[in-house]
Amino acid sequence: MPETFFIETWGCQMNELDSQRIAGSLRLRGYRRVDDERDASLILLNTCSIREKSEHKVFSRLGELRELKRETGARIGVCGCVAQQEGEHLIERAPWVDFVMGPGNVGNVDAVLDGERRVAVDFPEHRQYDLLAIDRGSPTKAWVTIIEGCNKNCTFCIVPTTRGREVSRPFGDVLAEVRAAVDSGRVEIELLGQTVNAYRCPASSRDFGTLLSAVAEIGGVRRLRFMTSHPAEVNDSMIAAMGDHANISRYLHLPVQSGSSKVLRRMKRLYTREKYLETLDRIRQAIPEIHFSTDIIVGFPGESEDDFQQTLSLIEEVRYGSLFAFKYSPRPGTPAVRIGEPVEDAIATDRLTRLFELHERIKRERLESYRGRVLPVLVEGPSKHDPSMLSGRTDDNWVVNFVADPATPLGSMLGVRIDDALHHTLRGEATT
Ligand code: 5AD
């Protein structure tokens, strides 16, 4: 019987890509992927620990898998950030787990599977990237890691612990991986890093803007995106690269976390409200109509109603198209735990609700403003809700579902007239 694997992934795109890399390595070893965990001889959980809730989910899932293991005898491996954070301790807490492998060892799956290492949670200086062994989920899109880890010390954040210090990949390696992805039909490339714009080639010191331009100029890259940028790392070279290349998405995710300079200082975000807004102005001058999105934490220790009002006024001022907001969740070992008590839960919940209400109105107005316009859309596949329609994204990263010739090849760029704005998405009809 050939070996089979089942993999479940939580969290950010980095984790999604890690799962694609692990799946690719397993396939090279002859494993077959299955969609039902009952059919698997190896079950992998690729986990997230950014907030307490995500971590709880892992342990309740492990409880279920304990039962399954009794029936099927499957091996169970925990990967990702909970694996990194808990290490040995995870096996003590859940002894039915066969191995624990952190994000630094995604390139060393073989050693773990062969039983050489049961707990692999170091960060090897030379990370392995096997570009041929990535089980990419989409026929049109490829994620490419350019930098791993994070050197910032935001006081709320577990990432520096779970993903280690920053390590950038050599410029030439990134270009080679992009070329290989394009050769396999992936016309959309997304460069990934926890602080993607802190990229610096270890050999030549070339910066993120230089890399962005070089990738945008590779023939066949129809659309280029990147995630996640840190506001304090935005520089002229990055802005110029975005302004100079029509195939770089007019979309920028720039987490602000709070609109109050007092809170930002306590978070160690390395910018003030004014500085952040000034950065956005500079970007807007070079790339008019850019779609900004952001992350916000409400209820950080010491956040007053006045601080929160400043967050609301910042959202109003920037008019973010998309926004991800979370209640502060204390993470073990992070400095914020010592800063003080979090805001009372009922107050934090209320703030979150008010914030989403404000943003819903702004998003609605923005989506409505697209009615009647014809926008270039990159075709990704059939629409999830109505398979008779196609789905894709505008170059400022809105999802559009539209009527078109069903034989349209995936990855092509079409003009789509927008007829309707729904809750999160646009709807229209192809004009070309
Ligand atoms: N509590 C709540 N949200 C957090 N984030 C990171 N750490 C925490 C935490 N301890 C949020 C930030 C970050 C996003 C990925 O998750 O907003 O940008």
Atom 6 of ligand 1, nearest CA residue: 157
Q: What is the pTM of this model?
A: 0.96
**Is residue 373 over pLDDT 90?**
yes
43 lines ligand 1 (CB under 6 A): no
Are 102 and 121 in contact by the 8 Å Cβ rule? The answer is yes
Helix (H) / strand (E) element for 163: namely helix 159-163
Which is nearest to 336 in space by CA: 193, 148, 160? 160
Give the HSE-up count for residue 367: Cα atoms under 13 Å, Cβ half-sphere: 20
Which is nearest to 24 in space by CA: 15, 33, 37, 34? 33
Which is nearest to 334 in space by CA: 15, 13, 94, 49? 49
CA of 326 to the centre of ligand 1 (A): 7
Are 332 and 85 in contact by the 8 Å Cβ rule? The answer is yes
Q: Give the whole-angstrom CA distance, residue 15 versus residue 19.
A: 6
* Sheet of 75-79, strands arranged across: 32-33, 4-9, 42-47, 75-79, 99-101, 119-120
Q: Per the structure block, which two tokens stand in for 64?
A: 């279920």
Q: Tell me: the pLDDT tens digits for 208-225?
A: 999 999 999 999 999 999
CA of 53 to the centre of ligand 1 (A): 12
CA of 334 to the centre of ligand 1 (A): 12
Q: How far apart are the first and last CA of the chain?
A: 50
Q: Tell me: the pLDDT tens digits for 259-298?
A: 999 999 999 999 999 999 999 999 999 999 999 999 999 9
Pocket test for ligand 1, best of 10, 48, 49, 50 (most atoms within 8 A of CB): 50
The distance between the two most distant Cα atoms of the chain, rounded to a whole number of Å, is 64
Atom 12 of ligand 1, nearest CA residue: 295
Report the SS3 class of residue 165.
coil
Q: Cis peptide before 161, with omega less than 30 degrees from 0?
A: no
Atom 7 of ligand 1, nearest CA residue: 157
Q: Tell me: the pLDDT tens digits for 143-168?
A: 999 999 999 999 999 999 999 999 99
Q: Which amino acid is at 172?
A: G
Please identify, by atom number, the ligand 1 atom nearest to the C-alpha of residue 331: 10
51 lines ligand 1 (CB under 6 A): yes
Query: Averaged over 319-332, what is the pLDDT?
Result: 96
Look at phi and psi of residue 72 and say left if phi exceeds 0, alpha if psi is from -120 to 50, else beta: alpha
Q: Per the structure block, which two tokens stand in for 151?
A: 């050197």
Q: Tell me: the pLDDT tens digits for 331-353?
A: 999 999 888 788 999 999 999 99
Q: Which amino acid is at 120?
A: A
Q: Tell me: the pLDDT tens digits for 386-423?
A: 999 999 999 999 999 999 999 999 999 999 999 999 99
14 lines ligand 1 (CB under 6 A): no
Atom 13 of ligand 1, nearest CA residue: 295
pLDDT tier, 312 (very low <50, low <70, confident <90, very high otherwise) = very high
CA of 157 to the centre of ligand 1 (A): 6
